[in-house]
Amino acid sequence: MTQLPSHVDIREVGPRDGLQIEAPISTAGKIRLLQALVATGVRRIEATAFVSPRAVPAMADAERIAEYVGTVPGVDWSGLVASPNGATRAIGSGLRTIEYVVSAADGHSWANARRSTQDAVDAVAEVARIVHDAGGRLEVIIATAWDCPFDGPTDPQRTAAIATRALELGADQLCFGDTIGTTTPARVWRLLDAVRAALGGRGDGGADPVPLGAHFHNTRGTGIASAFAAVQAGIRQLDASVGGLGGCPFAPGASGNIATEELVYLLDDAGISTGVDLDAVLAAAAVARELVGHPLESNLFRAGGRNRPRPAPAGDR
């Protein structure tokens, strides 16, 4: 483990990962949420996904969302893709930060992308060419990095090998996804040790550093602890979703991401700057709750920050 950093970079994934399993909401509603998220100060936002609208109806307006975010400066807007065709759509829509998903487990890869892990990894080269020819940047997200709902535990060496190959084929950075929310701090450390050994120090700020990120779900209540363990292990980029929204439609049992407001609260209290305003995130979570029409998973959203008084019990009124 390393000394705690002075800053951690949060990527807000609510507009994509947070909404992909929800009933489709209007493009205008999504823009309201995007505006609320920009007001939090977060400077990396995953805006949408360029995937099949039949498979993920909630992302059917990807091009319209990309058109809107192209008018909003000061944010590194990204789009998720699962194929070279998706990358072509994303680049054609004006986005230049592209996330390409590779499932470390074959079971999830077939369910999510209808192809094997090996085929998905091989496609990194074509996706990288499409992105780089447009002057963009490619992040490869390795889903089911710890566990798969179909295949069980993922061997850390398998995830590490995929990470190494993705870089060889043109990825500019990597992110490791706890897709079904099963990992724990000790397993986070073990995987990151394996990855760094395979990368030969590239992920630790060596001569040719590769940014490493992590993406945790809170399905079993260990997501926020795992995120802090990743920070202790040197990760400086974390994903989170406003209100704890989210889940994978192709991973049975996967529930929401770690909540942005809970991550900001934790890191701020540890003296780690995020550049994100907690009160503004809570306001954005209220917008999200209105749009999805159901309670949010976030404990902090329900309880409020430390300085927000709890409602008095009924008997005290």
The pLDDT value recorded for residue 251 is: 62
d(CA 258, CA 17): 11
Q: Which DSSP state fits 95?
A: -
Q: Which amino acid type is present at position 243?
A: G
Question: Hey, CA dihedral for 38, 4, 177, 243, is it positive or negative?
Answer: negative
Q: Find out whether 276 and 41 touch, Cβ atoms under 8 Å.
A: yes
SS percent in the chain: helix, strand, coil, step 5: 45, 20, 40
Name, in order, each residue with C-beta under 8 angstroms of 269's C-beta and a sequence gap of 6 or more: none
Q: Which of 248, 251, 264, 288 is catalytic?
A: 248
Q: 101: closest CA among 75, 119, 76?
A: 119
The tokens of 129 are what? Answer: 């060419």
The pLDDT value recorded for residue 200 is: 87
Q: pTM for this structure?
A: 0.93
Say if strands 237-240 and 152-153 run parallel, antiparallel, or are unpaired: unpaired
The pLDDT value recorded for residue 187 is: 98
Q: What's the burial of 207, exposed, middle or buried (CB within 10 Å: 0-12/13-18/19+)? A: exposed
d(CA 210, CA 190): 19
Q: What size, in residues, is the chain? A: 317
Residue 60: CA atoms inside 13 Å, Cβ hemisphere, count? 11
Question: Hey, CA dihedral for 260, 263, 264, 265, is it positive or negative?
Answer: positive
Cβ neighbours of 32 (radius 10 Å):
17
d(CA 126, CA 85): 10
The tokens of 106 are what? Answer: 């074959």
Please state the separation of Cα 162 from the chain's center in Å: 18
Domains of the chain: 9-316 (3.20.20.70)
pLDDT of the chain along its 317 residues, tens only?
Answer: 468 999 999 999 999 999 999 999 999 999 999 999 999 999 999 999 999 999 999 999 999 999 999 999 999 999 999 999 999 999 999 999 999 999 999 999 998 888 999 999 999 999 999 999 999 999 999 999 999 999 999 999 999 999 999 999 999 999 999 999 999 999 999 999 999 999 986 765 555 579 999 999 999 999 999 999 999 999 999 999 999 999 776 666 667 899 999 999 999 999 999 999 999 999 999 999 999 999 999 999 999 877 764 444 444 33
Name, in order, each residue with C-beta under 8 angstroms of 48's C-beta and a sequence gap of 6 or more: 15, 16, 59, 61, 62, 65, 66, 79, 80
The pLDDT value recorded for residue 3 is: 81
Known catalytic membership, residue 248 = yes
